[in-house]
């Protein structure tokens, strides 16, 4: 499992990661792995491009129902802003364009 691989596969052709900020695991830390991949002191900090990669091993952005099994994130790329969407604990990545543009918005969730 690798959230970094999940992220790279979610990127568009030519899109690059600029920065990642990690938040809490799941529902305020419930079910976080031990030892945690992202310590509390490492949350809320900007990690530039691949500096975030080591924190993203051993877990995935895509989880089943129940408590979410991933960290909340804000991810900036050259094209978009990306975050985790949750529906009843099931998680996936969602995004919006980084800059205003005429595109067709979608409805993440359910």
Q: To the nearest whole number, what is the mean pLDDT of the chain?
A: 94
Model pTM? 0.93
Domain that holds residue 16: 3-97
Q: Is residue 82 part of a domain?
A: yes
Q: Is residue 110 part of a domain?
A: no
What is the predicted pLDDT for the residue at 44?
A: 98
Q: Is residue 109 part of a domain?
A: no
Domain count, the chain: 1
Nearest to 25 by CA among 54, 51, 63, 52: 63
pLDDT level of residue 89 (50, 70, 90 thresholds): confident
Q: Is residue 30 part of a domain?
A: yes
Q: Is residue 19 part of a domain?
A: yes
Q: Is residue 25 part of a domain?
A: yes
Average pLDDT of the residues in 73-101: 94
Q: Is residue 80 part of a domain?
A: yes
**Does 35 have pLDDT greater than 80?**
yes
Chain center to CA of 87:
15
What is the predicted pLDDT for the residue at 110?
A: 63
Instruction: Give every CB contact of residue 76 below 8 A, 6+ residues apart in sequence.
Output: 17, 18, 19, 20, 82, 98
């Amino acid at each position: 499992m690798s959230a970094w691989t999940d992220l790279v596969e979610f990127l568009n052709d030519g899109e690059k990661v600029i920065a990642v900020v990690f938040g809490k695991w799941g529902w305020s830390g419930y079910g976080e792995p031990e030892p945690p991949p992202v310590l509390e002191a490492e949350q809320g900090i900007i990690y530039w491009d691949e500096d975030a990669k080591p924190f993203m091993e051993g877990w995935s952005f895509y989880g089943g129902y129940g408590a979410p099994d991933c960290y909340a994130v804000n991810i900036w790329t050259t094209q978009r802003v990306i975050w985790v969407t949750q529906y009843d604990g099931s998680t996936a990545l969602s995004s919006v364009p980084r800059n205003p543009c005429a595109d067709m918005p979608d409805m993440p969730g359910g």
